[in-house]
C-alpha cells in the first residue's frame, strides 16, 4: 500500500468515526440514554475518550468494535422508524416493557445494556424481521 493510499484510508476512517459518533449521540438523545448507558452500548471505551468525543466528534478514532456497535444501533433506530411512523412512539419503544419472551418482560434497552454486541445484533435482526413487508 502506498503512502497516498494509507493517507486516504486514514482520512476515510476519521470521517467515518466522526459521522458515526455524531449519529450515535443523536440516537442516544432520542432514546434518553444516560452517559453510563451510552458508554455500555459503545463497548465501554475509555471515559476520557468518550467525553472528548462528546465535546468534539472530530477527535473520534473509533475501533471496529465501536463502529460495529454503532451500525447495529443505527439499524435498530431505522427499523423502529419504519415500524412506528410517529417518531415519539418509535423512540419510546426502546424503553417500554415488552411481553415477548426474549425480553422477559423487560425493555429492549435492558436487553441491549448487557454490554454484549450479540444483544445489539439480536435486536437489530428481530426488528428488521418485523419490518419485512413495510418497505
**How confident is the prediction along the chain (135 residues), in pLDDT tens digits per residue?**
566 555 555 678 899 999 999 999 999 999 999 999 999 999 999 999 999 999 999 999 999 999 999 999 999 999 999 999 899 999 999 999 999 888 999 999 999 999 899 999 999 999 999 998 665
Torsion of CA 38, 30, 67, 44, to 10 degrees: 0
| Closest listed residue to residue 42, CA positions, set 24, 22, 60 | 24
pLDDT at 1: 59
- In this prediction, residue 8 carries a pLDDT of 56
For 31-116, where are the alpha helices, taking DSSP H only? 35-41, 47-55, 64-83, 87-93, 108-112
No. of H helices and E strands in the chain?
A: 7, 0
Q: Fill in the DSSP letter of residue 114.
A: T
pLDDT on residue 3: 60
The predicted pLDDT at position 51 comes to 98
**pTM score of the predicted model:** 0.89
At 5 the pLDDT is 52
Please write the tens of the pLDDT for every residue from 95-115.
999 998 889 999 999 999 998
Q: What's the pLDDT score for residue 72?
A: 98
User: Hey, is 63 helix, strand or coil?
Assistant: coil
Please give the grid coordinates belonging to residue 6: 494509507
Amino acid at each position: 500500500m502506498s503512502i497516498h493510499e494509507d493517507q486516504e484510508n486514514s482520512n476515510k476512517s476519521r470521517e467515518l468515526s466522526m459521522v458515526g459518533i455524531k449519529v450515535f449521540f443523536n440516537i442516544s438523545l432520542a432514546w434518553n440514554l444516560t452517559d453510563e448507558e451510552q458508554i455500555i452500548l459503545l463497548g465501554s471505551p475509555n471515559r476520557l475518550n468518550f467525553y472528548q468525543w462528546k465535546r468534539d466528534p472530530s477527535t473520534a478514532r473509533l475501533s471496529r468494535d465501536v463502529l460495529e456497535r454503532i451500525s447495529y444501533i443505527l439499524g435498530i433506530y431505522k427499523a423502529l422508524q419504519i415500524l412506528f411512523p410517529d417518531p415519539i412512539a418509535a423512540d419510546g419503544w426502546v424503553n417500554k416493557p415488552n411481553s415477548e419472551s426474549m425480553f422477559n418482560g423487560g425493555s429492549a434497552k435492558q436487553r441491549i445494556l448487557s454490554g454484549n454486541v450479540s444483544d445489539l445484533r439480536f435486536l437489530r435482526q428481530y426488528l428488521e424481521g418485523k419490518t419485512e413487508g413495510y418497505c
